[in-house]
Structure 1
Amino acid sequence: MHLIFLGTGTSQGVPYIGCEHPVCLSKNPKDKRLRSSILVTTDSHHRILIDCGPDFRQQMLLHQEKQVDAVLLTHEHNDHIIGLDDLRPIIFHNKKNMPIYCKQRTGNEIKNRFPYAFSQNKYPGVPSFDIHILENHAFSLFNLEIMPIEVMHYKIDIFGYKFKNTAYITDASGISDQEKIKLKNLDNLIINCLRKDNPHLSHFILSQVLNLVDELKPKKTYLTHLSHQIGFHDETNQQLPDNIQLAYDGLKISF
């Protein structure tokens, strides 16, 4: 199995409109961060998309990816779901509805924001989705066991996902001791890290992630959902422990 980071940026992306912060003005491609999403390729060569934000079309074209077989959603905020309409060409090519796996609350929001995809009398050319509601227990998809990880994003509960011994968590600000048990001794922990300092109410910052890594002891940690306040990619990476690094758009890891 392997995955590619389609995007590693926060909700506004990096650079964001009108920003003159040095990181937003950087010429280094690794400092250009589209909205956070990954595409997982299973051992059976199925492709599972985790989150589908406003940059989805651009991300697929940029990385020459053509296929999505299922979508897992962490939660319903726009930077994680608003690109679902751009799945249309893939849905038409597959000649079947796109399966989407998510919490009940997230499924309800998809129906509210894309009502035309669920209409009884659909306008020609609109996408078609099959919503599968997840609970906080393991399920199988394409012969792969996937474990939802429930985390807190300020006051709402959202999902991360664990597959094999790799976990993907974004937009977290807290993880219960019960859920941390699922995250012990991973090969790869992918986790959000908004900035270096100045606590945020709904996202981990670097000091919190470092404490979490020390507690969970993953072999390798990749930081994602990054704002410009995390600093320059190359400079910040040099300051991090050897087993922790900033992810970047286009990074591929195998597991």
Structure 2
Amino acid sequence: MEVILSGTGTSQGVPVIGCDCTVCKSTDTHNVRLRTAAIIQMSNGLNIQIDCGPDFRQQILANDIHSLEHILLTHEHMDHIAGMDDVRAFNFSNRVDMNVYGTGQVLARIRHHFDYAFSRVPYPGAPRIVTNVIDSNPFQLNDVIVQPIPVWHGKWPVMGFRIGNFAYITDVNAIPASSLELLTELDVLVLGVLHQKQHHSHYHLEEGIKVAKLIGANRTIFTHISHQMGLHDEVSAELPTGIELGYDGMRIHVHQE
């Protein structure tokens, strides 16, 4: 399968509005980051979206995605759900309702913010969304098995996801031992790492490197990156072998045994 990192930035994105730092003023496209999201493309043609933030429409267009039936939500913060209205494009073009998967807490927020999509008498053009409650147990999308990975984002419960030899965990500063047991023998791990300094609800760079080494995936790629991380090329040059910074539009081939 192939994974597209359609966004690798924080809730503000990069460049940050009004910021004149070196990263925000950089002309290198590796330093331009939309809000964090990913698209998983299975070899059978199935596309799976992870998170649906405010840049969802732009990301779908930029990566030439023409079909989508499933969206996995890590948590309910707005930089991960604010683009949900734009799923109606797939309702129209693919003639299917959009299946959205999240914990009960996450889906309650979806129903609150996008209540018009769940009205008994929805207005024409409202997105058609089918909510599917998940917990820590694996579930199936067509013939694809998804294993949720419970982690912590400060005091906020967040889900990562594992599909085959690939795992995706964003907005995280603690992974319980029971979840680490679900992350063995990975080909690729995508892990949220914010910037260089300690943070109350995100791994910073030193912590992210330690966690990456502990999990031991063949390849670890950092996402959810702040402008305070530094320039992409300069930080990348200092990372250990097997660990790298992600960037928008990055395509990752995942070996499946």
After TM superposition, the score normalised by the length of structure 2 is: 0.97
Question: After superposition, what is the alpha-carbon deviation per residue over 1:153-204, rounded to whole angstroms, capped at 9, x for unaligned?
Answer: 11111100000111000001111111111112311110001002x2111111
Q: Secondary structure at the match of 1:58?
A: helix
2:51–2:81 CA contact under 8 A, matched in 1: yes
Following superposition, which runs of at least 4 residues in structure 1 exceed 4 angstroms of deviation? none
Question: After superposition, what is the alpha-carbon deviation per residue over 1:104-128, rounded to whole angstroms, capped at 9, x for unaligned?
Answer: 0000000000000000011111001
Equivalence for 1:68: 68
- The count of corresponding residues between Structure 1 and Structure 2 is 254
Q: Secondary structure at the match of 1:239?
A: coil
Question: After superposition, what is the alpha-carbon deviation per residue over 1:3-30, rounded to whole angstroms, capped at 9, x for unaligned?
Answer: 1110000010000100111001000001
Q: Secondary structure at the match of 2:100?
A: strand
1:94 aligns with 2:94: yes
Equivalence for 1:237: 236
Code of the aligned partner of 2:29: P
**Rounded Cα–Cα distance in structure 2 between residues aligned with 1:238 and 1:208:** 18
Code of the aligned partner of 1:250: G
**Rounded Cα–Cα distance in structure 1 between residues aligned with 2:22 and 2:222:** 20
**Rounded Cα–Cα distance in structure 1 between residues aligned with 2:250 and 2:142:** 24
Code of the aligned partner of 1:2: E
Question: After superposition, what is the alpha-carbon deviation per residue over 1:27-50, rounded to whole angstroms, capped at 9, x for unaligned?
Answer: 000100000000001121110000
Question: After superposition, what is the alpha-carbon deviation per residue over 1:23-78, rounded to whole angstroms, capped at 9, x for unaligned?
Answer: 01000001000000000011211100000100111111122222212100000000
Larger mean Cα displacement after TM superposition, 55-64 or 146-155: 55-64
Code of the aligned partner of 1:203: H
**Rounded Cα–Cα distance in structure 2 between residues aligned with 1:156 and 1:221:** 24
- State how 1:33-112 maps to structure 2 within 5 Å: 33-112=33-112
Code of the aligned partner of 1:231: G
1:44–1:142 CA contact under 8 A, matched in 2: no
Code of the aligned partner of 2:213: D
- State how 1:13-24 maps to structure 2 within 5 Å: 13-24=13-24
1:152 aligns with 2:158: no
Q: Secondary structure at the match of 2:158?
A: strand
2:69–2:97 CA contact under 8 A, matched in 1: no
- State how 1:1-255 maps to structure 2 within 5 Å: 1-196=1-196, 198-255=197-254
Larger mean Cα displacement after TM superposition, 159-168 or 63-72: 63-72
Alignment RMSD? 0.8
Code of the aligned partner of 2:249: G
After TM superposition, the score normalised by the length of structure 1 is: 0.98
Q: Secondary structure at the match of 1:242?
A: coil
Q: Secondary structure at the match of 1:90?
A: helix
| Percentage of pairs with the same residue | 40
Code of the aligned partner of 2:247: Y
Code of the aligned partner of 2:174: G
> Could you tell me how far 1:205 is from its partner in structure 2?
0.5
**Rounded Cα–Cα distance in structure 2 between residues aligned with 1:34 and 1:7:** 5
> Could you tell me how far 1:97 is from its partner in structure 2?
1.3
1:8–1:37 CA contact under 8 A, matched in 2: yes
Q: Secondary structure at the match of 1:64?
A: coil
1:50–1:73 CA contact under 8 A, matched in 2: yes
User: Structure 1: which 5+ residue stretches go unaligned?
Assistant: none
User: Structure 2: which 5+ residue stretches go unaligned?
Assistant: none
**Rounded Cα–Cα distance in structure 2 between residues aligned with 1:65 and 1:44:** 15
1:3–1:39 CA contact under 8 A, matched in 2: yes
